[in-house]
Structure 1
Amino acid sequence: MTAAAPGGLRGVLRLAAGHRGPIAATVALSLAASALGLAQPLVARDVIDAAGAGRAVWHGVAALVALFTVQALVQALVRFQLGRTGEGIVLGVRLGLIDRLLRLRMPAYDRHRVGDLISRTDADTFALRQIVAGGLTDAVTGSIGLAATIGLMLWLDWTLFVCVAAVVLIAGAALAAALRGMRAASLSGRRATGEMAADLERALSAIRTVKAARAEAREAERIGGRARAAHAAGVRTAGFDALVAPATELAVTGSFLLVLLIGGARVAGGAGSVGDLVAFLLSMLYLTGPLGALFESLSAVQQGTGAAHRITEALALPRETADDPPRAAGAAPAGAEGGRPPALEFRDVWFGYRPAQPVLRGVSFEVPRRGHVALIGPSGAGKSTIFALAARFYDPGGGEVLVGGVAAGAVSRARHRAGIGLVEQECPILDGTLRDNLVYAAPHAGDDEIRRVVDITNLAGLVARLPHGLDTRVGEHGRELSGGERQRMAIARALLPRPRLLLLDEPTSHLDLESELALHQALDEVARRCALLVIAHRFTTVRAAAQVIVLDQGRIVASGGHEELMKTSAYYRDLACAWPREDAPAPR
């Protein structure tokens, strides 16, 4: 469960908490600009009164020019500081989101679409910048400026102020009605935008499949539906936002006309001076700034509430950290190798991605510190889940997973994974060069170490053939490489850090016969140096293992060497009979 994400201005304030200094400086500058503006009506009144009495007015005019000039310069500085502060807040939020999204616990990735998570670092953080630049500071300075202007107007003429307040309250009621619907429309639009990004990422990541299936129109319709939903929410938001400008116009222009009529009539009747009326009207003119800023800030905050909600929701997702406090260690078992514990041990492990639907049911086995162990079984038997638990992507619901005789949860995840190499069946290759991919898990590896794994995985011919050798770019998802080359690259990447336990999900599925034989020789060499646990789908891989573990419906139904199982396990013999040739794939 995620923590409830705060909404409205409170959520924005939480995201901006680390930038109190720059925000305070911006507010101080804005207040200085407001003070310079509020002084101008008083100076103007004195100039008019002096002109009426026949006194010199040049010093008053000079003071007005100076006040106006300094105010303009301060306002320019405020706008720059607003932009810089907004960008700083967005950078901080993006860095926090990037770090959080890369460190989430695996169930969080299962529940959320990757494209939607990515959109929170892009579109939603951009909307947050709009809130900061056009909403947060304006709300603070507008409120303070409004209070100061109201104080000045009360001091000048409380009767006229009552007229102004009545008109502003009417405009405020209209604004409140608009803001009530704006927040829901904004959140709906942000969610639709996230879904659109997720659907587009889904289609582009499988674009060859999309084109081969002639599904461009269907995908365009699916993604277009998300875009139309975002458009509809945006139109609703625009409709509510359209009420903000008329409400502000009513509050400012309407009250100005009302004061002009009432105040002019009073001056004509001798109940007030022209200077007092001009001063009050000028104070109303300066009321436009803070009042308009306050109304616009409320609109901006409500429009950005959806973005703030989605960002805080993402920041509240559960994460795994490299320095997780270790849990109590399990007892170290006495292994078969002179008292040394096995490289990996499962003790009565139960696990389910949904607690009510267990995938593993009391699984127990050992992988010795040296040797080749194969996992086989039909699809859904739990082979990949065993790998996920061994790498601590998930923790077991019951029982224990031990590495080197120590419970996996007794050490940090980073330390646990440092001794494990993983080769996934999809063999993801990152955009960059061959060298970038090879040293991904061992960034400080030297040329000799790289050459060693290149030779082991039969990549030397590929490196020699490419125009820039190891520094040749492989393209996004390794599109410049064949399937077999991508798989051998992934194996080499896992071997480079010299792991104590190597997990391979069918390492030979994309290899030709010659490369497969070379790789089996390499794996035999690796098995003499560390533990190998291999998900096997080919008979040649199974036969090469010193021990075979047979899974079915989350339970181990047989275990032993190939020849032994052929004699003792009918289930294993049935699987073996399904492999008509040595190079045929085993049933999943």
Structure 2
Amino acid sequence: FEHKRVLSVVIVLSILGAVATLAQPLVVGQVIARVQESAPLGMLVWAIVALVVVSSLLSGFQHFLLQRTGTAVVYSSRRKLIARILHLPISEFDSRRTGDLVSRVGTDTTLLYAVLTQGFVDAIGNSLIFVGALVAMAVIDPVLLALIVVVIGLSVVGVVLLSGRIRKATREQQDKVGELASGVERAVGSIRTVRASGASDREEAAVTELAADTYRIGVRIAKVSALVVPVAGIALQVSLLVVLGVGGFRVAAGAITIAALVTFVMFLFMLIAPLGSFFGAITSVNQALGALGRIQEILDLPTETQDDAEIAARVADPARTTTRAASAEQSVAAIEFRDVRFRYPAAVVEARRKAETEALAVLESAHVDTAATTLPDEPDAAAADLHDGEVLRGVSFSVPRGARVALVGPSGAGKSTTLALIERFYDPSGGAILLDGT
């Protein structure tokens, strides 16, 4: 809705263009009728030229506005995603791959371009042409129109049934693209470990398999799309054959005139053209809708809890900040834990287990004895295993201001988690953490 003014202009241009397009067959019909009657054409020829020129100019300007607005929508979506991602809780980064988040900002937002350039805004003008052509054809010859509706109705039903399969497959494809980006990011980010372990070939095979999965889904989408695209062509050809055959018979019988038949055929092409655009846009729009779902998934995530009023007050009132700092110096405990309990979210635990499995696979591929191997980057796993998923259980201590305090304990005792809680990378499951009494 940021671009509603521009979109409103586009809609108006689309309607004006549709009116100019619909007027052309009517004027052509008048020209043919006058030629048959040997009557002067007057301004009809110039009217046709004017309608063609106006329709083309409106279409060109509308195309420019749609392209520019599509680019603006991609930019605004990226801006919102970046702002959201950089303020997500740390637990979201623990449970999601970096490459997948990057792909949503890059690849997924680019696909939104199709929603505007081949989507609903352009469909307004096409819908008006479609309805206008139907009405005009009903006035000219209801019998011919009834035959056309049967042919077009069957083609529309077929496309609607196929479009659901396309949307599902495109969502799978975008998920695989995210996994591929994550795989490349992981391999490149740990390239020294991969090389030192002699695991380059294995990583190449793993990332290539992700690319192959993306390719296979793309081929599946192409097969379904290949069924959608010819439908418009078949509908046009069958409809044209029906109109020429039955229409010629009705002209011979005197039911309609040649001018009326020519006008009807022109409206038929106008009826099929929007339908062809709709069928052709099925794949790209469904890709965009699949990407929109992935983008919205991130935008719906809650950001870190922040005391915005407190931050605003500190910025607006430097004296308050000084007073607060002075009172803090008089506080006995700079940091205090009161009966703190904590367990990592299930998604974080699952992501770390997956990372551990992948790391062990790299070591095994390098023929390292993994039985005696202790992997890093798995903070406080031992404590969690011992206490039903809880890393910290009833931890209480205080740190006086200016003091130096050491956290001592074996691997997995909860040292890293304690520091992460002080940084508020996570919130405790129970108890309270106080900073200068707050």
TM-score range, shorter chain: 0.7 to 0.9
Number of residues of Structure 1 aligned to a counterpart in Structure 2: 380
For 1:241 and 1:175, the matched residues in 2 are separated by: 10
- The offset of 1:84, in angstroms, is 0.9
2:431 is aligned with what amino acid?
A: G
* Counterpart for residue 260 of structure 1: 244
* Secondary structure of 1:302 counterpart: helix
* Secondary structure of 1:375 counterpart: coil
Is the Cα–Cα contact under 8 Å of residues 351 and 398 in structure 1 kept in the other structure? yes
Cα gap change, 1:287 to 1:154, in 2 (>3 Å): same
* Counterpart for residue 55 of structure 2: 71
For 1:384 and 1:47, the matched residues in 2 are separated by: 85
Matched, 1:390 2:374: no
- The offset of 1:288, in angstroms, is 2.7
Q: 2:94 aligns with which of 91, 94, 110?
A: 110
1:265 is aligned with what amino acid?
A: F
1:230 is aligned with what amino acid?
A: T
Matched, 1:400 2:384: no
Matched, 1:19 2:14: no
* Secondary structure of 1:235 counterpart: helix
* Counterpart for residue 304 of structure 1: 288
For 2:279 and 2:345, the matched residues in 1 are separated by: 48
1:150-299 matches, cutoff 5 A:
150-299=134-283
Higher relative CO (Cα under 8 Å, sequence separation at least 6) belongs to 2
Q: 2:124 aligns with which of 134, 140, 143?
A: 140
What is the percent sequence identity of the aligned residues? Answer: 39
* Secondary structure of 2:424 counterpart: coil
Q: 2:35 aligns with which of 46, 51, 56?
A: 51
* Counterpart for residue 458 of structure 1: none
* Counterpart for residue 83 of structure 1: 67
For 2:273 and 2:307, the matched residues in 1 are separated by: 51
- The offset of 1:269, in angstroms, is 2.3
Deviations 1:368-395 (A, max 9, x none): 1112211121111111111111111111
Cα gap change, 1:145 to 1:322, in 2 (>3 Å): farther
* Secondary structure of 1:279 counterpart: helix
* Counterpart for residue 375 of structure 1: 407
For 2:297 and 2:336, the matched residues in 1 are separated by: 37
1:254 is aligned with what amino acid?
A: V
1:126 is aligned with what amino acid?
A: T
Is the Cα–Cα contact under 8 Å of residues 225 and 283 in structure 2 kept in the other structure? yes
* Counterpart for residue 347 of structure 1: 338
For 1:239 and 1:28, the matched residues in 2 are separated by: 37
- The offset of 1:135, in angstroms, is 2.0
* Counterpart for residue 568 of structure 1: none
* Counterpart for residue 25 of structure 2: 41
For 2:281 and 2:4, the matched residues in 1 are separated by: 18
Q: Which moved more, 1:298-307 or 1:279-288?
A: 298-307
- The offset of 1:354, in angstroms, is 4.2
2:437 is aligned with what amino acid?
A: G
1:67 is aligned with what amino acid?
A: L
Where do 5+ consecutive residues of structure 2 fail to align? 311-327, 347-387
* Secondary structure of 1:371 counterpart: coil
- The offset of 1:321, in angstroms, is 5.1
Cα gap change, 1:281 to 1:340, in 2 (>3 Å): same
Q: Which moved more, 1:114-123 or 1:298-307?
A: 298-307
* Secondary structure of 1:376 counterpart: coil
Is the Cα–Cα contact under 8 Å of residues 87 and 129 in structure 1 kept in the other structure? yes
1:318 is aligned with what amino acid?
A: P
For 1:338 and 1:281, the matched residues in 2 are separated by: 88
Is the Cα–Cα contact under 8 Å of residues 166 and 224 in structure 2 kept in the other structure? yes
* Secondary structure of 1:192 counterpart: helix
Cα gap change, 1:200 to 1:263, in 2 (>3 Å): same
- The offset of 1:105, in angstroms, is 1.2
For 1:82 and 1:198, the matched residues in 2 are separated by: 33
- The offset of 1:296, in angstroms, is 2.8
TM-score, length-scaled by structure 1? 0.62
- The offset of 1:299, in angstroms, is 3.5
TM-score, length-scaled by structure 2? 0.83
1:368 is aligned with what amino acid?
A: P
Is the Cα–Cα contact under 8 Å of residues 87 and 303 in structure 2 kept in the other structure? yes
Deviations 1:281-334 (A, max 9, x none): 1111212332222223334322333211111111112211544578xxxxxxxx
Is the Cα–Cα contact under 8 Å of residues 344 and 368 in structure 1 kept in the other structure? yes
Q: Which moved more, 1:31-40 or 1:370-379?
A: 370-379
1:394 is aligned with what amino acid?
A: Y
Is the Cα–Cα contact under 8 Å of residues 135 and 296 in structure 1 kept in the other structure? no
Is the Cα–Cα contact under 8 Å of residues 345 and 365 in structure 1 kept in the other structure? yes
- The offset of 1:185, in angstroms, is 0.9
For 2:146 and 2:404, the matched residues in 1 are separated by: 88
- The offset of 1:91, in angstroms, is 0.9
Greater C-alpha radius of gyration: 1
For 1:49 and 1:150, the matched residues in 2 are separated by: 22
- The offset of 1:20, in angstroms, is 2.7
- The offset of 1:106, in angstroms, is 1.7
Q: Which moved more, 1:249-258 or 1:386-395?
A: 249-258
Deviations 1:485-516 (A, max 9, x none): xxxxxxxxxxxxxxxxxxxxxxxxxxxxxxxx
Is the Cα–Cα contact under 8 Å of residues 91 and 345 in structure 2 kept in the other structure? no
Is the Cα–Cα contact under 8 Å of residues 349 and 396 in structure 1 kept in the other structure? yes
Where do 5+ consecutive residues of structure 1 fail to align? 1-16, 327-336, 407-588
1:346 is aligned with what amino acid?
A: F
2:343 is aligned with what amino acid?
A: G
Is the Cα–Cα contact under 8 Å of residues 48 and 275 in structure 1 kept in the other structure? yes
Deviations 1:390-434 (A, max 9, x none): 11111111111001111xxxxxxxxxxxxxxxxxxxxxxxxxxxx
For 2:250 and 2:132, the matched residues in 1 are separated by: 25
1:95-106 matches, cutoff 5 A:
95-106=79-90
Cα gap change, 1:402 to 1:214, in 2 (>3 Å): same
